[in-house]
Amino acid sequence: MRAAEDLGGAQPFPDDIAETAAGGGTTPTDTGPGMGLAMAWHARLLAGNGRPAGARGLAADAVRQLTRFSDNPDGFQAALVVALTVQATATRASGDHHEAPLTDQRAARILAILTERDDTYADDLHSS
């Protein structure tokens, strides 16, 4: 997954929560952007398992975690697109059809910046 590569790892999207917790060198005490990406992956798993409210809150936490590293946009923007996309999906699934499009738009703006720099981001992150 491109977001993991940008954070310094090369692992694909994990298949379960155990892999999520172990992915990207992230540990429960990690306070870096890798934790934000792991949180987004966890939120995606929650959403996929019928827990959109929990996924929405965790994805919002992931977005907050990742934006703490906005001073290094090359390293965190792809992970932020993932987190925002998960947040929008979970928000929509939990019934908030007003906030979800706004979150989708934010993710799309960041993805446009990334694809302007490197068009392979479009394929790598479009379905995040």
Cα separation of 84 and 79, whole Å?
Answer: 9
Are the beta carbons of 13 and 24 closer than 8 angstroms?
no
**Confidence grade of residue 98 (pLDDT, cut at 50, 70, 90):** very high
**Which ranges in the chain belong to alpha helices (H)?**
2-6, 17-22, 33-48, 52-67, 73-93, 99-117, 120-125
Q: Tell me, what's the pLDDT at 121?
A: 81
pLDDT tens per residue across span 40-87 = 989 999 999 999 999 999 999 999 999 998 877 677 888 899 999 999
Q: Tell me, what's the pLDDT at 27?
A: 44
pLDDT tens per residue across span 16-47 = 444 444 444 444 446 678 888 889 989 999 99
